[in-house]
Structure 1
Amino acid sequence: MNYLFLTNTPLFHGVREDEIEHLLSCLGAREKTYQKNEIIFRAGSAVSEIGLVQSGSVNIVVNFYWGNSNIFGHVETGMIFAENYAAIPGKELLCDVVAAEPCEILFLNLTKLLTTCTSGCSFHQRLIHNLLRISAMKSLNLSSRMMHTAPKSIRDKLLSYLSEQAMVNSNTHFTIPFDRQQLADYLGVDRSALSNELSKMQKDGLISFKKNEFILHET
């Protein structure tokens, strides 16, 4: 177990290595490795554990009745998943959690995480505080995505997203965390249509871009 790595994750932020070692024994912690495309949690199942990605990354995949699927989310190294479902006993997953690449997952029992030990140790309280912050941030990110996908036209979706990125970066020159396909998936549009619209926006003088680097221009 890499305790130093865990101290640098959002969930264990502010908790020392020796405290983490003590915590993991209280939280029913277990580790498991997965190969690329292996299912970690399957849609329709109920979970009682959250997963923390120790290496690699995982995808949150929504499967449709007609057989096609869509990547709804991507969880990088150091981040957690399934906390919302684990918090509601018996709640069935609406999506698969799939290894995007070879990965190692640390599973933690959420009930034990939310129930402080009899000594009321401060580092357990810190863990609960961190989990609340993570959940709040995910909620804000989801609200942002809903705001960007609400407009009907691809241009309006892009204007909404790029405007937010300029605000977040406090600069009209910034780099986004998506490639073209990922941006198309995030906004819920076709990749070719997205690329065409970006080219039109550049021709209209609204933006300049190279790969995932953008500059917004005043009109």
Structure 2
Amino acid sequence: MLEKLLSNSLFHNITTSDLQKDFEGLTYRIKEYHKNEILASQGDICNRLVILIEGSVRGEMIDDSGRLIKIEDIVAPRAIAPLFLFGTANRYPVEVTANEASKAIVIPKEGILKLFRRNETFLENYMNLSANYARTLAEKLFFLSFKTIRQKLASYLLRLSQQQNTVLMDRPQQELADYFGISRPSLARELGKMQDDGLIIADRKHITILNREILKSIIK
């Protein structure tokens, strides 16, 4: 079962023999989750690292009205909230629920600290993952600062295009909608409106920018 961890970025460049050696005497467990079972509630103390090895889960944030807002889907093999295992406010920022029957390896915080000491590659991988995760959160906050879907899309396309007029979308519409914190129909509707307004041509994953200056003016 441990071999399944090797496909996770936390264990990049770590051999099977090193992995087995590093886990000797380490406390961990294999846990199975049923569909719609809650793995962690928003605000729970994050005192263990949960690494999905099968299935998928979703992260949802509960607002003041009690409404669940979907943040993202996490598909195996990925770790859940690795950034929040450490720090003074190490609590889950979202509620984590299984989308389907899933399986994970659960390692207590003390075990992760032991792995840091035993394997510098694992430590470096963890730091890189945390940095990438923090950057992604920063980007999400950046897009949330825009009030309209058109502003979000305009900024996203300009950043993705890198001065080219043809853009290959780097994620499917549902994932992009989750990234923006909006519904997929709302995203598709706005893409259609932007095409009708002569700003872009949308052809599945390919977007052609027709008027870069107007897109820039939208986000000012």
Q: TM-score range by the shorter chain?
A: 0.7 to 0.9
CA gap of 1:171–1:84, structure 2 versus 1, over 3 A, is: same
- What is the RMSD computed on CA atoms of the aligned residues? 2.4
CA gap of 1:58–1:116, structure 2 versus 1, over 3 A, is: closer
Q: 1:209 aligns with which of 202, 206, 209?
A: 202
CA gap of 1:171–1:23, structure 2 versus 1, over 3 A, is: farther
Contact 2:201–2:210 at 8 Å: present in 1 too? no
Contact 1:85–1:91 at 8 Å: present in 2 too? yes
Contact 1:61–1:95 at 8 Å: present in 2 too? yes
CA gap of 1:71–1:193, structure 2 versus 1, over 3 A, is: closer
Distance 2:73 2:153 in 1: 20
Q: Report the secondary structure of 1:58's partner residue.
A: strand
Matches within 5 A, 1:70-81: 70-81=69-80
Structure 1 unpaired stretches of 5+: none
Match of 1:68? 67
Matches within 5 A, 1:116-131: 121=118, 124-131=119-126
Contact 2:160–2:167 at 8 Å: present in 1 too? no
Q: How many residues align?
A: 210
Distance 2:10 2:70 in 1: 24
Distance 2:16 2:29 in 1: 17
Match of 1:155? 150
User: Deviation digits for residues 103-158 of structure 1, max 9, x if unmatched?
Assistant: 111112233323468xx64xx11111100000000111112222222222221110
Match of 2:133? 138
Contact 1:113–1:128 at 8 Å: present in 2 too? no
CA gap of 1:91–1:6, structure 2 versus 1, over 3 A, is: closer
Structure-2-length-normalised TM-score: 0.83
Q: Report the secondary structure of 1:66's partner residue.
A: coil
Match of 2:216? none
CA gap of 1:49–1:171, structure 2 versus 1, over 3 A, is: farther
Matches within 5 A, 1:47-58: 47-58=46-57
Structure-1-length-normalised TM-score: 0.83
Structure 2 unpaired stretches of 5+: 212-220
